[in-house]
A and B are shown apart, each in its own frame.
Chain A
Amino acid sequence: MSQTKVQSDLAGEGYVASNELAMAVHLALALERPLLLEGSAGVGKTEVARALAEVLDTKLIRLQCYEGLDAAQAIYEWNYQRQLLAIRTASEGGETGKTVEDRIFSRDYLLERPLLQAITQDKSPVLLIDEIDRADEEFEAFLLEILADYAITVPELGTVSATTRPHVILTSNGTRDLSDALRRRCLYAYVDYPDRETELAILRARSPDIEARLAEQVIGFVQTLRKEELEKVPGIAETLDFAAALMGLGIADLTSDPVALQASLTTLLKTQSDRASVTTEVAQRIAGRAA
């Protein structure tokens, strides 16, 4: 595999990666290191993992982080209900303590959460740890431990070592600074909003039936809109929705129908103040320039 191979493979799955990102993915695979992707919401960080899983033809295991995420949700938990039932039936059947204990603390009674799942697969999965900046620092700490050894210790069972090493991708929106320790363990790539050509390529890859002229206009419109002062800058997903909305409304030219254009802006502008700041005139001006 090389950087260009990664790039073309991802493109085959409908993901247009920049050189920088393709190189980072290539190295992450080659060096077996986790990859940390940072960037604004909606630039396609999560999509990388999905596309990579398709390319490698493997499972995608996703762990969505949130504040207060703990070991029981991220790594494993015992299935307490089943354990209780097992103990009750065993005591009626007259089993001794030792055998019951061995039984209820076996793998059958273990609920595997994403991190444990990821290291016990037959084929290296892609492990996506999404929005790591939302989890708190303690979670980072035990993530570090797992990313270093790829082994998890369950006191009742012993250490579960990785059968295969997962390809780990972490994403962050930068709402909080991550610890230097975590950054050091990872390769890093900053994913920015795509430039005009890249975004056009993405749009063509995702909605192949779009007319060339409309595609150019849509991209021109979104690219200009991103330079306006907005609270929430539209990402790639929004661009795709916008294009789909316009195609659904049967619009072939952005400047032809101001009302329909204004209506379809709901797909791009997601806050009240942004809607208010992009008035019909502003939208028409941007559309006129894009056309």
Chain B
Amino acid sequence: MTRVTRFAGRDPGPAARMAGFLAHLRENGWRLGVQETDAALTALSHVCAADHGETRLALKAICAGCREEAERFDALFDSYWMDAGRVRTKVVPKKASTTSDNVHSSRDGDGQDASGSGQLTAPDGGEGNVESDGEGKLIPSEVRNLNRRDLRDLVRAEEIATAEGVARQLGEALRDRRSRRRIAARKGDRLHFRRTIRRSLATGGEPLRLYRKKRPDRDRKIVALCDVSGSMSVYAKVFLAFLAGLMRGDATADAYLFHTRLVRITGALRDKDAMRAIGRMSLIADGFGGGSKIGESLQRFGDTYARRFVDGRTVVMILSDGYDTSPPVHLDAALAKLRKRGCRIIWLNPLKGWRDYEPVTSGMAAALPHLDLFAAANTLEDLANLKGEFARL
């Protein structure tokens, strides 16, 4: 095990190499900052840095932040430090003309780099591909429908206005009654001792007036994920109007579309002009009407956006018919992981409104145990009628 690193000559010192390693982790989807680079360097001064075993353990303690990361760390460590993977290019972009003979510094690093840039070969086992929000290539093309469909044909402005009302009502119904801290209130279930005692000083220690506190209601955040695959196109009209209404009625809501991949449309839907918002959405959601990979889309959601936007006060609303072309294990794992964030999961399935509908598609069957509510919704009225169910969550 005496493999060595490949960039001894290229990087100016340990600090640059460590920064390179952290950048390498970041490229693989880890969320690390400058602080970690600093900590990693400091940590090396506390261990025997020449011993790669110790270094590996030390960096693992610093950089990994959860179980999956801890398990992946060794492979990433090897691919960077142990010459097992591709060679990284420098993070710093090259200056325009390095051939200029007007040399100010004797250690102009760009010169060395020129030779290295030719050999960035050997992809590292495919795990590097996590990033890039929609640059194709992740998905086999036969299941994608690249014909753009303009969603403006589907949705009318009046419907958005109605949907806005529905979304408001649902938001009202989803009040969370479990805030942890009590705040002072005129009518409350507990005595506010601190204030009572303080005020009793004025009356010579006689607590004449009792102050109270209670647990305030807290709003829940709605995160909606809408399936716009081919099988859903009949219902898309209602759901898209609902999403647009939701965005306008609720400032904290968040919306995504998915078919074979996942796109965040919150920004686009917040456009002041409702129809322009829909237009922007249809530009973003290119490929609308293709196949659907629910499991993979949800997994991607869980690995990226959910880490920022989903917490214990969130209701994740999935609008889909459950026809999934990826294996059901993906969906099962994705929902189980999402649940761990403490959120509620609601699945609104338009097919459930049919008579004799049974959730027997493998995807739906895998999803059922993870759901807090599984309901039908075909029209805006249906959605509005779910208020009662939502309030019980």
The reply to whether A136 and B312 form a contact with Cβ atoms under 8 Å apart is yes
B66 touches A38 (CB 8 A): yes
Contact A84 B207 (CB under 8 A): yes
Contact B46 A26 (CB under 8 A): yes
Query: Which of A71, A100, A179 meets B201, CB within 8 Å?
Result: A100
Q: Which residues, 326 to 352 on B, are CB-close (under 8 Å) to A?
A: 340-342
CB distance from A145 to the nearest CB of B (A): 14
C-alpha gap A26/B47 in the complex (Å): 9
Stretch touching chain B among A27-35, A53-61, A208-216: A27-35
List the B side residues contacting A104 at CB < 8 Å. 197
What's the least CB distance linking A269 to chain B, in Å?
Answer: 24
* A189 CA / B182 CA spacing, docked (Å): 35
Docked Cα-Cα span, A3 to B60, in Å, equals 14
| C-alpha gap A24/B180 in the complex (Å) | 33
Which of A30, A177, A189 counts the most B-chain CB atoms under 10 A from its CB?
A177
Instruction: Give the shortest distance, in Å, between B76 (CB) and chain A (any CB).
Output: 15
Residues of chain B lying within 8 A (CB to CB) of residue A91: 204-205
- Bin chain B's interface residue count: 35 or more
- B interface footprint on A1-45 (CB within 8 Å = 1, 0 otherwise): 011000000000000000110011011101101000010000000
Interface string of B190-207 (1 = CB under 8 A from A): 000110010011101101
B172 at interface (Cβ–Cβ under 8 A)? no
Q: Of the listed stretches B28-36, B128-136, B140-148, B267-275, name the one at the interface; the rest are far from the partner chain.
A: B28-36
Expressed in whole angstroms, the Cα–Cα distance for A68 and B181 within the complex equals 8
**Does chain B have a CB within 8 A of A229?**
no
Distance of B101 from chain A, by nearest CB (Å): 46
Main secondary structure of the interface of A (DSSP, over half): helix
Q: Which residue of B lies closest to A71 (CB)?
A: B181
For residue A183, which residues in chain B have a CB less than 8 angstroms away from its CB?
A: 65-66
Whether the pair A3, B340 counts as a contact (CB closer than 8 A) is no
Question: In the complex, are the beta carbons of B46 and A88 less than 8 A apart?
Answer: no
Closest to B182 in A: A70
Inter-chain contact B180/A70, CB cutoff 8 Å: yes
Indicate if B64 sits at the interface (CB-CB under 8 A): yes
> Can you name 16 extra interface pairs (CB under 8 A) apart from A84-B200, A137-B312, A176-B342?
A3-B54, A26-B46, A27-B47, A30-B46, A69-B180, A70-B180, A70-B181, A80-B194, A84-B207, A87-B197, A91-B204, A101-B201, A136-B180, A136-B312, A137-B311, A179-B311
